[in-house]
């Protein structure tokens, strides 16, 4: 049976550059079923222990948790908001972590970040590199993607060095699926 991989852009923006980058990386995989997750399809209430106690888990939370149960790996690209996770991503992560602390199920992960700036979301990437392993992430490779508008045009990476680096990471990720 084909392996199933989720791509997730860590953002709720309609035109999320991170969603595009994660999906692009997923499109490089061969003989794998790639499921592209849009956080907008799993909108959750703002997490609080009170909402959790009063209302329990929303359908979006249990649905996404079930999808995470079935996946063989993750390609995540994180948006950076003020040096950290976007609110939408952190909210999703907080809800999911209440059902299963090992959110990432010890499955292989390719961890990316993209931003319009020169650092390519390196601050949020570093946060995730530090924290995700405690949440069951098996991070195979990581890469910040800088200057998105200059380097990614019309559904393609136009910077040869960045493309080569990403293709190499995807191959390494593919090997461990």
Binding site for ligand FMN (CB under 6 A): 9, 11, 13, 16-18, 79-83, 115-117, 119, 121
Nearer to ligand FMN, 83 or 101 (CB): 83
Distance of closest approach, residue 88 Cβ to ligand FMN, in angstroms: 9
Contacts of 77 (CB under 8 A, 6+ apart): 7, 8, 9, 10, 18, 19, 21, 22, 25, 112, 113, 114, 145
Nearer to ligand FMN, 62 or 159 (CB): 159
Distance of closest approach, residue 95 Cβ to ligand FMN, in angstroms: 19
Distance of closest approach, residue 114 Cβ to ligand FMN, in angstroms: 6
Distance of closest approach, residue 104 Cβ to ligand FMN, in angstroms: 20
The arrangement of strands across the sheet holding 138-145 comes to 32-37, 3-10, 73-78, 108-114, 138-145
Which position has the token pair 């890469």? 143
**61, 104 contact by CB (below 8 A):** no
**125, 111 contact by CB (below 8 A):** yes
Nearer to ligand FMN, 31 or 82 (CB): 82
Nearer to ligand FMN, 92 or 174 (CB): 92
């Amino acid at each position: 049976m084909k392996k199933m991989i989720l791509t997730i852009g860590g953002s709720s923006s309609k035109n999320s550059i991170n969603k595009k980058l994660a999906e692009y990386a997923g499109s490089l995989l061969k003989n794998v079923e790639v499921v592209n997750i849009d956080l907008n399809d799993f909108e959750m209430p703002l997490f609080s222990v009170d909402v959790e106690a009063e209302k329990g888990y929303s359908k979006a939370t249990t649905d996404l948790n079930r999808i995470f149960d079935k996946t063989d790996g993750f390609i995540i690209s994180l948006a950076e908001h003020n040096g950290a996770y976007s609110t939408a991503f952190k909210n999703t992560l907080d809800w999911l972590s209440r059902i299963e602390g090992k959110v990432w199920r010890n499955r292989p992960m390719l961890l990316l970040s993209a931003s319009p700036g020169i650092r390519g979301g390196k601050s949020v990437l570093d946060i995730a590199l530090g924290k995700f392993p405690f949440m069951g992430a098996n991070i195979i490779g990581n890469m910040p993607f800088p200057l998105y508008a200059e380097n990614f045009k019309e559904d393609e990476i136009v910077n040869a060095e960045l493309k080569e680096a990403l293709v190499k990471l995807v191959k390494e990720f593919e090997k461990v699926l």
